[in-house]
Chains A and B, each alone.
Chain A
Amino acid sequence: MKSQRIPIALKIKQLVTIIIVGFIVIWFLAPLVLITISAFASPGDYYQIDKVIPTHFTLNQFKSLFFGLEAWKAILTSIKVAGITILLSFIMGLPAGYALSRYIFPGKNFLKLLCLATKMFPLMVLAVPLLIIFMKVGVSDTIWGTSLAHTAMVLPIIILIFSSILSGVSVDYEEAAMIFGLSRIHAFFRITLPLALPGLAASAIFAFMMSWNEVFVATILTLTNRTLPAHILKTAMASPDYLKFTAGFIMAVPAMVFIFFVRKHLVTMWGISLK
Chain B
Amino acid sequence: MISFSRREKNWIPYLLFLPALIYLAGFIGYPLVKTLQLAFTSEEGKVGIENFITLTRDSTFWKALKNTLYLLIAIVPLQVILAFLLALFVNGRFKGYMTVLYIICIPLALSDVSAALMSYNIFTSHGFLNKLLMKFGFIDAPIYFFGLGLSSRAFWVIVLTELWRATPLVFIILLASLQVISKDYFEAADVFGFSSWQKFIHITLPLTMPSLQSALLIRTLFAFQIFAVVWLLSGRDIPILAGEVYYQQAELINFRLAATYGFIIALICILLSWVYLTFLKTKHLEV
Contact = CB atoms under 8 A, between A and B. Distances in A.
Interface of A: 17, 20-21, 24-25, 27-32, 34-35, 38, 46-47, 49-52, 88, 91-93, 95-96, 98-100, 102-105, 107-109, 111-114, 116, 118-133, 148-149, 151-152, 155-156, 159-160, 163-164, 171, 174-175, 184, 209, 212-216, 219-220, 229, 232-233, 236-237, 241, 244-245, 247-248, 251-252, 255-256, 258-260, 263, 266-268, 270-272, 274-275
B251 to A, nearest CB: 11
Contacts of A133: 30-31, 34
Given A160-B287, A266-B108, A114 B265 contact: no
A92 B111 contact: no
B122 interface: yes
Contacts of B63: none
A249 B287 CA distance: 35
Contacts, number: 306
A29 B110 CA distance: 12
A24 B83 CA distance: 12
B164 A27 contact: yes
A112 B284 CA distance: 12
18 contacts: A24-B89, A24-B100, A28-B104, A31-B122, A35-B117, A95-B17, A121-B266, A123-B225, A124-B225, A125-B31, A128-B258, A160-B287, A215-B111, A216-B246, A241-B126, A244-B117, A266-B172, A274-B218
A219 B112 contact: no
Which of B32, B116, B121 counts the most A-chain CB atoms under 10 A from its CB? B121
Contact of A126 (B31, B117, B227, B231): B31
Nearest to A256: B106
B231 A92 contact: no
Contact of B27 (A32, A46, A151, A174): A151
A50 B133 CA distance: 10
B179 A267 contact: yes
A255 B130 CA distance: 28
Interface in B93-129: 94, 96, 98, 100-122, 124, 126, 128
A275 B17 contact: no
Contact of A52 (B128, B168, B250): B128
Contact of A266 (B34, B105, B128, B286): B105
Given A209-B109, A248-B121, A52 B135 contact: yes
Prevailing SS type, chain A contact patch:
helix
A186 B235 CA distance: 55
Interface in B27-59: 27-28, 30-32, 34-35, 38
Contact of B262 (A38, A125, A263): A125
Prevailing SS type, chain B contact patch:
helix
A155 B24 CA distance: 8
A28 B103 contact: yes
B110 A255 contact: yes
Nearest to B285: A116
Given A128-B258, A151-B27, 4 more contacts: A95-B16, A103-B12, A122-B221, A215-B228
Given A50-B131, A52-B128, A233-B231, A92 B172 contact: no
B20 interface: yes
